[in-house]
Structure formats: C-alpha cells, structure tokens
Amino acid sequence: MAAHAPPPQHPKISSDEMQRRIVRFDDVRKRGIPLMFIDSILPGHQRMNYSLIGDTASENPEYDALLLAPHKFQIGMVKAKPGNGPAYHTHDYVESFFILSGRWRFYWGNDPDPDTIEGEATIGPWDYISLPPGLYRGFEVAKDETDEAWLFAVLEPHDVFAGKDPYWSPQVEAEAKKYGFAADERGKMVKPANYDQLRAELLAKLDG
C-alpha cells in the first residue's frame, strides 16, 4: 500500500490578523473618494469611488485601499446619482461590474470619440458585465432612476502609476482640463489650485 503524502502546510494567522481581512460596509461608506479620476469633477460623471482591494485604476494617489493585503485582483465600488458615471475610457486589462442597486446604462465602441458608440446595454441588480481590454466604455446610472445606485467592480491586476490608466477619450481630457485636472505620463492626477475646495464641495454633494 502506497504511503500517504504528508498534508500540505498552510500559513497560520491569528484572529486579530483575520480581522484586518474583513471590510465592513460601515467603513466603506466613510471612505468614499470623490475625485479618484480626472473626469470625476465633470457634470454627468460625478460619483463616489471606493477602493476595497488594490488601487482600482485610481489616478489620485492620496488614498489607500481598505484591505491592504496583496491580492491578484482589484475590487472597487461606485456610487452615483441618475445620469452620472465614468466618462469614456479604456484600460489594458479586463474590468467587470456587478450591479448592486439601480439600473446602469453601459455604452461602448472602438473609437475614442464617445459620439461614435457601437453598442449599449442597460442592466440591473445581480446582472454582470465584463469589458475587454482596449474597448472604450462609459456608464451611468440610468437617467430615469429616482435614487443613487451602487455597483461592484472587479479588475484584473495592473501596475500602478506605470503609465496612463485609464486612457481617456481626448474629449474627456479636454473637458477635465477646463477644471484644471489632467493626468501626467505615469497616469497620476495633476490637481488644480482649488482642489481642496472642489473635493469638499463634491463630498458634500455626493454624501449629502
């Protein structure tokens, strides 16, 4: 009879350490990021971003994720009011979204011009969408919704501040520039002089 292989050894962790691997929604709600991206200031694109695991493609380096242990994927959440959501952009990696509340309209195309979309879909709670690398996409809470809505984002791993990420439509970059926002060659946000004031105003608007 063949000898049994010894059981695999697994690292042990304490209960206290395990507590640091739990993200409670009460804490998530307090850690909203009103200006994670250069488009976050634009009417129609204002939203609250939440970073649970990883940088979730942030252009703003002033925030940490809620759960700091390294993972091979990235998790974020978004809250927005009707008619608001991320402007037209793309990534080098897959990003996918699970709808938590409300109906969200996704639209996409291969040209960076958001006026040349090739398709769109409106999906709701418990629906899921996975967007491939390179495809331009934007999305928003459906305009006929009556309340703010939430979604959950799962992103493939990616390097942080290694280059432009997201790649914005030139139209989006031009609009953001009017407010003094840009992204440098490493994808890091260049902030306007009144950044703190804009951040406080947006925070009050989105959390109020």
Residues that bind Fe ion (CB under 5 A): 95
Task: Look at residues 44, 40, 71, 20 and name the one whose alpha carbon lies nearest to residue 195.
Answer: 40
Least gap, CB of 147 to Fe ion (angstroms): 23
Nearer to Fe ion, 100 or 208 (CB): 100
Nearer to Fe ion, 95 or 140 (CB): 95
Q: How far is the CB of 131 from Fe ion (least distance, A)?
A: 8
Minimum distance, C-beta of residue 17 to Fe ion, in the bound complex (Å): 32
User: Would you call 207 helix, strand, or coil by DSSP?
Assistant: helix
CB of 68 to Fe ion, least distance (A): 22
Q: Give whichever of 95 and 173 is closer to Fe ion, judged by the CB atom.
A: 95
Residue 189 Cα distances to 165, 172, 176, 186, 196, angstroms: 10, 14, 11, 9, 14
Question: Which CB sits closer to Fe ion, 11 or 86?
Answer: 86
How many of the other CB atoms lie within 10 Å of CB of 75? Answer: 19
Give 167's strand partners: 90
Nearer to Fe ion, 139 or 195 (CB): 139
Nearer to Fe ion, 3 or 36 (CB): 36
Q: Buried b / exposed e across 37-71, counting CB within 10 Å, b at 16+? A: bbbbbbeebbbbbbbbbbbbbbbbeebebbbeeee
Q: Tokens 């459906």 sit at which residue?
A: 142
User: Closest separation between CB of residue 37 and Fe ion, Å?
Assistant: 9
The CB-of-90 to Fe ion minimum distance in angstroms stands at 7
Q: Which pair of structure tokens corresponds to residue 109?
A: 């195309």
Residue closest to 61 by CA, chosen among 193, 161, 206: 161
